[in-house]
Amino acid sequence: MPADLVVRGGRVVTHTGEFRGGLAVSGGRIAAVGADDQLPRGAREIDLEGRVLLPGVVDPHCHLGVDYDYDSDMRTETAAAARGGVTTVLLYARNPKPGYVDFYRERRARGEAQSMIDFGFHFGIQRPEHIAEIPEIAEVTGVQSFKCHMGYEPGNPIGINSSPDDWVFGAMRAAAKLPRGVVSVHCENTALAGMLKDEMKATGRTDLAAYTESRPPFVEETAIHAVIRLAELTGCPLYIVHTSVAAGPGIAAAARARGVDVTVETCPHYLTRTGYDEDLDATAKISPPLRDAGQRAGLWKALLAGQIGTIGTDHVPFRKNGGDVWAEKPGVVSFAWELPLMLHHAVHERGLPLSELVRMNSYTPARQFGLYPKKGALQVGSDADFVVVDLDEEREVRHDGNGTCLWEGWKLRGWPVMTFARGRQVFDGTVDESEHGNGRCVTVPDSQR
């Protein structure tokens, strides 16, 4: 019996290397991988004509349903993700109330009704009761990943409660007891950030660079050192989100050398933009802030040295006020452009091997959050999530959706041309709108895994 789909004639890249050939899909999973002559016949066959075939991007960091309606975001933003070769997204979700079990059930059902691709959750620690709930959350929902926020002063524009040290320690101590437990931390020293913000506001400055200068690198570095020590004491795997400072990856590498389980994430905006770019204004506010050119260069050095574990977009559609940077909501959108940005700036400009990009974009996030090898792999039995890339295609960034794009009009080389999610073609130059509602939640109870 032929496979449902066979793709041949490609340059197949995994986190360990590459070969010429393709793969076969049956029942939404990969049924065969290998050279063209080793593949079965397919009811549908595609000749890749030498283009690159990668595992689908697993984006470990996004926020949906924060400013716009959750149902709407799950529809529009997962379509944008499909255009960018993203086949799984993990949402950092916050519930200000006690009790994540009912929250999970509602968000899972609403997400599955709208999403084009698979999705999952991390849950934010927003009150002490959430820490006590961690064992029940893990058992009933399957979610074993929790986030502690730092650096958000009381009254911040998006209403986040920062975690004091006892919350971080308590969450780590509880998560360390779970089979796949991990704690993510937004690393900025909250007291320092608040003090320096007040001092900068007193000068009357409201520009983007003022925001950058109000949170200098040591504010983030201090927090990184602190949470690594707590992870070391508790034995909890630590995931440092959206690292913006050049020293961060090196601090984490030194901790790994002494046995601490710590993974560093950075984002495309920190690798490609600064807080001093003349074409940016307060709408480019991000938390942590865009840095200067020296910090950006240091991040690239760390990435090329293999010290960055993952690339996350921190994608969040916000309505911006376009005025005072202090009142502005922090966040931008980049689902559709993370892969082209990395192909252009990392692979073409800096010679990053494609296998290293796969490691950061697919393999490591899937492994970190308990999804590998179902996700992040091109192996027999894995979900048939993959993206076909034309490395030589040049195209300009165009944004017509919600949220703020920092790359409008940039010409990038290397773009996704086809995206497959569990064997379904969700993108082929245009998004297949009929695929909405076919995405499934991947953070589920063990009985459903």
List of residues 6+ apart from 167 with CB closer than 8 A: 125, 128, 131, 148
Q: What is the pLDDT of residues 187-228, one digit of tens each?
A: 999 999 999 999 999 999 999 999 999 999 999 999 999 999
- What does the alpha-carbon distance between residue 269 and residue 275 come to, in Å, rounded to a whole number? 10
List of residues 6+ apart from 174 with CB closer than 8 A: 131, 134, 135, 181
Per-residue confidence (pLDDT) for residue 1, from 0 to 100: 82
pLDDT tier, 321 (very low <50, low <70, confident <90, very high otherwise): confident
Q: Are 123 and 178 contacting, i.e. CB atoms less than 8 angstroms apart? A: no
pLDDT tier, 233 (very low <50, low <70, confident <90, very high otherwise): very high
- What does the alpha-carbon distance between residue 279 and residue 258 come to, in Å, rounded to a whole number? 43
- State the burial class of residue 430 (Cβ atoms within 10 Å of its Cβ: 0-12, 13-18, 19+): exposed
Q: What is the pLDDT of residues 322-333, one digit of tens each?
A: 778 999 999 999
Predicted confidence (pLDDT) at residue 43 exceeds the cutoff of 90:
yes
Per-residue confidence (pLDDT) for residue 212, from 0 to 100: 98
pLDDT tier, 446 (very low <50, low <70, confident <90, very high otherwise): confident
Q: What is the pLDDT of residues 144-173, one digit of tens each?
A: 999 999 999 888 999 999 999 999 999 999
- What does the alpha-carbon distance between residue 194 and residue 189 come to, in Å, rounded to a whole number? 9
Per-residue confidence (pLDDT) for residue 323, from 0 to 100: 75
Per-residue confidence (pLDDT) for residue 322, from 0 to 100: 76
Give the residue-averaged pLDDT of 343-352: 98
Per-residue confidence (pLDDT) for residue 21, from 0 to 100: 98
Per-residue confidence (pLDDT) for residue 314, from 0 to 100: 98
Map out the domains of the chain with their CATH numbers: 3-52+384-433 (2.30.40.10), 56-368 (3.20.20.140)
List of residues 6+ apart from 194 with CB closer than 8 A: 153
List of residues 6+ apart from 219 with CB closer than 8 A: 151, 188, 189, 192, 193, 196
Per-residue confidence (pLDDT) for residue 447, from 0 to 100: 85
Q: What is the pLDDT of residues 127-139, one digit of tens each?
A: 999 999 999 999 9
Question: Structure tokens of 292?
Answer: 């200067």
3-state secondary structure the chain: CCEEEEEEEEEEECCCCEEEEEEEEECCEEEEEECHHHCCCEEEEEECCCCEEEECEEEEEECCCCCCCHHHHHHHHHHHHHHCCEEEEEEEECCCCCCCHHHHHHHHHHHHHHCCCEEEEEEECCCHHHHHCHHHHHHHHCCCEEEECCCCCCCCCCCCCCCCHHHHHHHHHHHCCCCCCEEEECCCCHHHHHHHHHHHHCCCCCCHHHHHHHCCHHHHHHHHHHHHHHHHHHCCCEEECCCCCCHHHHHHHHHHHCCCCEEEEECHHHHHCCCCCCCCCHHHCCCCCCCCHHHHHHHHHHHHCCCCCEECCCECCCCCCCCCCCCCCCCECCCCCHHHHHHHHHHHCCCCCHHHHHHHHHHHHHHHCCCCCCCCCCCCCCECCEEEEEEEEEEECCCCCCCCCCCCCCEEEEEEEEEEECCEEEECCCECHHHCCCCCECCCCHHHC
Please name the residue that has the structure tokens 């030194």.
Answer: 254
pLDDT tier, 449 (very low <50, low <70, confident <90, very high otherwise): confident
Please name the residue that has the structure tokens 């950058």.
Answer: 212
Per-residue confidence (pLDDT) for residue 373, from 0 to 100: 98
Give the residue-averaged pLDDT of 92-100: 94
- The average confidence (pLDDT) of the chain is 97
Give the residue-averaged pLDDT of 432-449: 95
Beta partners for residue 253, in sequence order: none
Predicted confidence (pLDDT) at residue 33 exceeds the cutoff of 90:
yes
